[in-house]
Structure formats: structure tokens, C-alpha cells
Amino acid sequence: MPEENINTVIAELEQKCAELPDNFIAHHHLALVYRKAGRPQDAIREFKRAIELDDNSAEPYVNLGAVYFELGDLDQALAANKKALTLMVKPAQAHVNIGLIHQQRGEVAQAVDAYTKAVTNDPEFAPGWVNLATAQVMAGDFGAAERAAIKATELDPGFGMAWNNLAVALFYQDNFPAARRAMAKAREAGYAVDPRFAEALAAAGR
């Protein structure tokens, strides 16, 4: 969205919030647009206001956690997503977010646990399987990573990162022909394969 357009939207939403200070939807939408405009502190303020107005809605907690994650405030991001877990009927996304936080901290076992909870909660949630495969590769559990990545490709054949993760898992199991096929699928889906991995795979087994 061009800057002038997003500023117009912000101005309209700010006016609406001023006119309807107790309107949850207005404050939440304003927070979302602030985030998109690169104004994280304003977004945090408005997400918190939305939470004040409706403490039983999970969405502002998830979005607040995302802003904190982007700012590198992992403790606040974790707290927001843990609160969202208590409010969501299907909290797969919150579990994935918590996994990403643990992964960012290098807490691989906790990341695997969080992603496992995500796919247990919603087995059809492809991003959960993709992230689980990533964490399992980090943990050195390449067979499990292969199975998780395959599940993700079955759920979403166009998910480039799923094919990439499958290629990595196969590479570490010395299944280089299958890894090359998976890497080709990742590229077909528009995924930017790490050149270092591509070079290592090209040279492997030769």
C-alpha cells in the first residue's frame, strides 16, 4: 500500500477511535495498520487498548506477540502468545509462534515440543509441520524431519519451504537424488534455496 494511502487509512481509523473510544474492532484495525506502516510502538498501544476492551479475544494477543517478536522482545512475545493459548479453540498458530520464540533462543527441544503441540491441535496446519521439520533438523532427528516435511508437502504442495526442509532432511540422510528432486520442487514453488546448501547438495555423492 502506498504511503499516502496508508496514512489516509490511519487518519480515518484514528478519527473513528476518537469517536468510538470503546470500539474494540476500530482499535484492533488501527493497531494492524500501524504495524503495517512500521509504527510498532503505536501498534502495541492500540493492541493493548483492544485487549482492555475485550480480554477474551485471542487475536490481539497473537498480533501483539508478533510485534514484540519483530522487536526482539521475546519475553513479551512469549507471554502474549501463552495468553492467546488460553483463549483459542484451535491454538495451532499460537503454538507455532511459541515454537519460533524458542527456536530464536536456541531452545530446540522446547521448539520441537511447541510445534508438536501445534500439529497435534490441528493436523491440517501445514506451517506447523514445516516448522516442526526445521526444529527436528536442528535437533538432528532427520527421519522425523523428513516425515514432518512430507506431511507439509501433502497438505500444501505449493509450500516451497516444505520442499526445502524435505531436501535438507534427505541430504542429512545421504539420500542425495531425492534431496535434489525436493530442492527442485522448492525452487519451482518460488522458494529461495540457500546457495550454500545448493552447492553442497550439487557436490554430494560425486
Q: What is the pLDDT of residues 75-106, one digit of tens each?
A: 999 999 999 999 998 899 999 999 999 999 99
- Grid look-up 493497531 returns 31
Determine the Cα–Cα distance for residues 78 and 69; give it in Å rounded to an integer.
Answer: 8
* DSSP output for 144-193: HHHHHHHHHHHH-TT-HHHHHHHHHHHHTTT-HHHHHHHHHHHHHTT---
pLDDT tens profile 171-206: 999 999 999 999 999 999 999 999 999 999 999 976
Q: Is 38 helix (H, G, I), strand (E, B) or coil?
A: coil
Determine the Cα–Cα distance for residues 174 and 167; give it in Å rounded to an integer.
Answer: 10
For residue 139 the three cell numbers come to 535437533
| CA proximity to 128, closest of 162, 104, 78, 105 | 162
Q: Say what the alpha-carbon torsion angle 123, 189, 161, 68 is, to the nearest 10 degrees.
A: -90
Distance of alpha carbon 150 from the chain centroid: 19
pLDDT of residue 4: 64
For the beta carbon of residue 146, count every other beta carbon within 10 angstroms: 25
| Region 44-50 average pLDDT | 97
pLDDT of residue 1: 53
Q: What angle do CA 105, 76, 129 make, to 5 degrees?
A: 50
Cβ distance 152 to 144 under 8 Å? no
Q: Is 17 helix (H, G, I), strand (E, B) or coil?
A: helix
* pLDDT > 90? residue 120: yes
